[in-house]
Amino acid sequence: MTSSNKQVILHVGLHKTATSSIQETCLKNKEVLARQGFFYPEFLFDGSVHSNHSIPIYSLCCDEPESYHVNISKGLFGIELSNVNKSSEDYIHRILNRYDKILFSGEDISVLSLNGLEKLKKILLSQGHEIKVICSVRNPYDFICSSTQQMVKDGTGPESLFTLKKIMCFKKADDIKRLLTIFGGDIDFLHYEAECSHEHGVVGSFFARLGIENYELNNKKDNVSLSNYTTRFFAHINSYIPKFKNGMINDDYIQDKLSNSNGTRFRLTLVELNSIIAELKEEEARIYELTSIDFTNSEYDVNEVLDIEYDDVGSFYKKYVINDKLSMITMRFIKENSLFDFRSLTNMENKPSVFYRDIALIVEDVDVATKVKADDSITTNPKAYLENTRITLVNGCVDLISKDRIKGWVFDVRHKEVVEVEIYCDDKIVTTVKANEYRKDLKDKSIHDSGYCGFNVSLSKFNFSNQKCQIKVIAKNDVRPLRNGLADI
């Protein structure tokens, strides 16, 4: 076979485009692929066989392999890591020397640096093969939601992401631009959502493009997404028990032992979406410019702010509290994501003593890390203790934070006086308003007796459209922002 017929198909994702399903199906149909001219490698990496080529190729070609989260998880570094990477490179050279058509698939390839991509390209061209890159591109908003959920689930990435303290607009256009810089016109860009319309889904579309027939689909669900409820709860746990600690796996990490809950899929709230909307629009435009795939008229479905009902607390607590440490963390999550009077949970019967103790400690605002030092008298009679201690004075929520407007509601849970709301920009107060507008929805849901507890603040006169800042919405004299009351705009 002439060199022009020697070809490497390099499937680079992007991430969250059914890559795991494609890879598992390729491995399952390895003999089918071979009979039709394609070799699909099985990498042995640190003693494990991988159908996803991301791990060995990224570890081999990335700038800092010791910082790669997979290598951290496996405890690979130094000479041992160098030997593992050399073994991967030797294997690639052997199969390039032996096979004319080779199919590689690994989504992490798309996030290699320019140097990393150049290194990979040099290796793949070493035996006279041509390279054809296949790159599937997903709707940017869907990608943000799916990737954020995955980072929370895996406990990886920046802390602000796997704890949902900040939403990031992932710049996949940057990845695409690097791929174009190294591979030029040898890239087929695919519209992920269009590929899904194939009768056998994305996998069927991928095989059809290669001309592969008579394959057996992989019916295994490779990557089960967390529900909105579970995603937000896991993000909360990640704040206290991160997966990695001091560069190593945290022995206390427990999220992988917890189960998923039913419910709606994870989407951003309106406040979260507004915090990235300008970057999202820019990302859509850049992807169109680079690939001619048009997402610029996309619609964005959002989730309502999480609201845990009183009647659901018992089952939620029973489902997730598998040890004492999770009790306090779970109870704080319930308090931060519910509208009922948190103190009323002491009326529940037949709960473990830590349930009542943690209500008391949270009402007193004791940090999770120091709760074990609480006086035993708190758990002796928690209901009586609560009656004699200070409780949070206000209940409220911010429905919208944008560069133009802030909307929400708040009221004092013990008194009938109208609450004043303070708006801060980078910790500097810019305006104060009274929460006395009528909110029919709150009255209808019996959240507030009269419904006159809303606020709606125009920010047009402050020129926030021309600057970036952190907005904080807080009830006057309170110490914490309202729920959803902290956002970057």
Kindly give the confidence (pLDDT) of every residue in the chain, 489 residues in length, as a single tens digit, with 9 standing for 90 and above: 344 589 999 999 999 999 999 999 999 999 999 999 999 999 988 777 888 999 999 999 999 999 898 888 888 989 999 999 999 999 999 999 999 999 999 999 999 999 999 999 999 999 999 999 999 999 999 999 999 999 999 998 888 889 999 999 999 999 999 999 999 988 999 999 999 999 999 999 999 999 999 888 876 655 678 999 999 999 999 999 998 887 678 888 888 888 888 889 999 999 999 999 999 999 999 999 999 999 999 999 999 999 999 999 999 999 999 888 899 999 999 999 998 888 889 888 888 888 988 888 887 765 554 444 444 445 455 555 554 544 446 889 999 998 889 999 999 877 788 999 999 998 889 999 999 999 998 888 888 889 999 999 998 888 776 778 889 999 988 878 898 899 888
Contacts of 76 (CB under 8 A, 6+ apart): 46, 66, 84
* Type of residue found at 446: S
The H or E element spanning position 32 is helix 30-35
pTM of model > 0.75? yes
- pLDDT the model gives residue 199: 93
Phi, psi of 366 (to 5 degrees): -85, 135
Cα-based distances in Å from 488 to 277, 284, 443, 456, 464: 11, 20, 30, 18, 11
pLDDT at 382: 57
**What does each C-alpha distance from 447 to 122, 306, 465 come to in angstroms?**
64, 15, 34
The topology under which CATH files domain 3-138+167-210 is: Rossmann fold (3.40.50)
Output the pLDDT for position 447: 84
What's the residue count for the chain?
A: 489
The residue ranges of every structural domain in the chain are: 3-138+167-210, 307-387, 394-488
**CB contact at 8 A, 439 and 448:** yes
Given this model, what pLDDT does residue 86 score?
96
Task: Give one DSSP letter per residue of 273-315, joined into a string.
Answer: HHTTHHHHHHHHHHHHHHH----TT-----BPPP---GGGHHH
What per-residue confidence (pLDDT) applies to 197? 94
Pairing of strands 470-475, 420-425: antiparallel
Provide the pLDDT for residue 73: 82
Q: Is the dihedral of CA 112, 139, 401, 414 positive or negative?
A: negative
CATH class assigned to 394-488: mainly beta
